[in-house]
Amino acid sequence: MARFTIAHAHIVDGTGRPAYRGFVTVSEGRIESVSELPPAVEGERVEADGLTLTPGFIDMHSHSDLTLFADGRAVSKVSQGITLEVLGQCGISGAPLFGSMVDEVARFFDRHHLDLSYRTMGEYLSAIDRQTAVNVLALIGQGTLRRGVMGEGDGPAGDKELRQMQVAIDEAMKAGALGLSTGLIYPPGCYTSTDEVVALTRTIAPYQGLYFSHLRNEGDTLVEAVDEALEIGQRAGVGVQLSHHKAMGPHNWGKTAITLDHINQAIDSGLDVYLDQYPYVASATSLTALLPDWALVGGHEATLARFEDGELLQRIIEETDRKESRFGWDRTRIGTVSEEQERDLQGKSMAEIAQEWNIAPVHALIRILRDNHMQVSMIRFGMGEDDVERVFRYPRTLIGTDGGAVAPDGPLSQGNPHPRTYGTFARVLGEFVRQKQWTTFEQAIYRMTGLAAQRLHLSHRGRIAPGYWADLVLLDKDQVNDVATFARPHQTAVGIINVYVNGQLEWHDGRHTGALWGNALRYFAER
């Protein structure tokens, strides 16, 4: 790799200290020197006068586990300055694969004319290594593991099944996994008891693994769900990461004041707790999440069969309508549908669709799920601005997109993703920092880089310092912002000039260079 120097940049080094003007020289993928004077040997010079140089951004919550195989450029991520993604979130991971999960993941590979060449976490990391433009750390998804071992049922794990999952977790940690994630709001996580989660999470403790939790509830029982996650961390003896922390539904706004107090109490007692957040008042997930947990037991085909049973369907309708009417049907929009003839629904609210069809919103919901074989995403405008600000200002809140890597062109350009997929980090810098002044630029960069790396126990990433890997972002501090919208999400951020991953230029002046220099990091080797 050729030596080069980024000259006259305003350096924000990822520690929180004030910016200073200087020179950063890169050689062999790492930072060779950082100084306020020109180095003795520069190599190629990149003139950065008037621009700001920061460490690469760390996406603390990503769902690119499979999409990186379809398009390793990771355009939506690299274009906003992301150089490292934490995969395997919400209990859903690319590996390890058992039972029906092999066929389920294989279907994604088949759609993209690819061969599924792995089963274990070690094989997964090897398959993804140097095939992407971003570095990755991978979590073990409890939902993926449980579904592979136990199927779609809602019963507790028996001793044999629990042991099989514990052995798989142990093997994955030895192969380089970061820890365990749960999605306790989704099947099969929602059928898993606290005790079962603790038993699995204890397996990562000898490796200093981390427990990432999409809480069991983010609305009416948010406080209780936070307490459960903290209890799991305390009983298992591991650090806890609360994913995309929020309070959903107007009747729950303000609860983050309570949850942050509970988190502080846990920290005071010795528990290692951090949060992450995306900077929007709308969330996104599967439309099936609106249905009662019991209606989802057995998988999609079983749910569709319940739709054909008059008595069960009526029960589903009543329970769903009672909950969603309180939330507000106008707050839920259709994201991406699976059926071509249904594309005109994308972007419309459930209230709008119901009015067009002259039926109740809950009946429209059932019809959409049935017509699309349950394969529908939604966007939910459920958060209050005060909660978003409160969580953002919390000093242990890190930043994550909660989205998989996509692109405006190529195989991942279809559908209607949440704009956070393209705009999260640029939006923080443009809106939360420059416009609203909720924190300083240096502190925001620290949260996105140095503090995130510290939380992940990464020893040579997240800072601009000699010996550190050259994951770098050159940006225009006065122009950086998101431009992706809910109506037109496939738009890359503005103000991001150059992005370097492991010392290689991946993004330059609005275009991907085509370089794929990302690495699959092994957690045990990074500490």
Q: What is the pLDDT of residues 253-310, one digit of tens each?
A: 999 999 999 999 999 999 999 999 999 999 999 999 999 999 999 999 999 999 999 9
pLDDT confidence of residue 343: 87
Same domain, 267 and 180: yes
Whether 42 has a pLDDT exceeding 90, the answer reads no
Q: E strands, 362-421, where?
A: 376-380, 397-399
Domain count for the chain: 2
pLDDT confidence of residue 144: 98
Same domain, 120 and 138: yes
Backbone angles phi, psi at 213, to 5 degrees: -130, 120
Instruction: Please tell me the distance from the alpha carbon of residue 494 to that of residue 480, in angstroms, as a whole number.
Output: 5
Same domain, 168 and 241: yes
Model confidence, pTM: 0.96
Residue pLDDT, tens place only, 24-34: 999 999 999 99
Eight-class DSSP state of 62: B
Same domain, 117 and 231: yes
Same domain, 372 and 426: no
Residue pLDDT, tens place only, 141-157: 999 999 999 998 999 99
Same domain, 311 and 251: no
Instruction: Please tell me the distance from the alpha carbon of residue 436 to that of residue 8, in angstroms, as a whole number.
Output: 28
Chain centre to alpha carbon of residue 517 = 21
pLDDT confidence of residue 341: 83
Q: Over pLDDT 90: what percentage of the chain?
A: 95
User: 379 in helix, strand or coil?
Assistant: strand
Whether 469 has a pLDDT exceeding 70, the answer reads yes
Q: In what order do the strands lie in the sheet with 135-138?
A: 57-59, 82-87, 135-138
Instruction: Please tell me the distance from the alpha carbon of residue 438 to that of residue 277, in angstroms, as a whole number.
Output: 14
In a domain, 278, yes or no: yes
- Residue numbers of the domain that contains 304: 290-378
Same domain, 277 and 295: no
**Degrees to nearest 5, angle at CA 301 with 289 and 402:** 30
In a domain, 275, yes or no: yes
Residue pLDDT, tens place only, 339-357: 888 889 998 999 999 999 9
Choosing from 378, 399, 426, the residue where a domain stops is 378
Whether 1 has a pLDDT exceeding 80, the answer reads no
Same domain, 499 and 408: yes
Same domain, 509 and 388: yes
Closest CA to 338 of 299, 298, 370: 370
Burial class (CB in 10 A: 0-12, 13-18, 19+), 303: buried
Same domain, 225 and 109: yes
Closest CA to 209 of 272, 147, 264, 268: 272
Instruction: Please tell me the distance from the alpha carbon of residue 189 to that of residue 143, in angstroms, as a whole number.
Output: 6
In a domain, 135, yes or no: yes
In a domain, 455, yes or no: yes
H-run or E-run covering 284? strand 283-286
CATH code of residue 169: 3.20.20.140
Inter-helix orientation angle 100-111/142-150, to 10°: 120
In a domain, 3, yes or no: no
Q: Extract the tokens encoding 10.
A: 């305003």
Average pLDDT for residues 474-494, to the nearest whole number? 96
Same domain, 344 and 202: no
Chain centre to alpha carbon of residue 285 = 12
In a domain, 232, yes or no: yes
In a domain, 25, yes or no: no
Q: Where are the alpha helices (DSSP H) in 372-499?
A: 385-393, 420-427, 441-448, 450-455
In a domain, 49, yes or no: no
Same domain, 510 and 467: yes
pLDDT confidence of residue 304: 96
The residues near 189 (Cβ < 8 Å, ≥ 6 apart) are 91, 142, 143, 146, 182, 183, 214, 216
pLDDT confidence of residue 403: 96
In the block, which residue shows the tokens 């220099």? 517
Choosing from 351, 378, 405, the residue where a domain stops is 378
Instruction: Please tell me the distance from the alpha carbon of residue 281 to that of residue 301, in angstroms, as a whole number.
Output: 33
Instruction: Please tell me the distance from the alpha carbon of residue 104 to that of residue 178, in angstroms, as a whole number.
Output: 23
Choosing from 378, 406, 433, the residue where a domain stops is 378
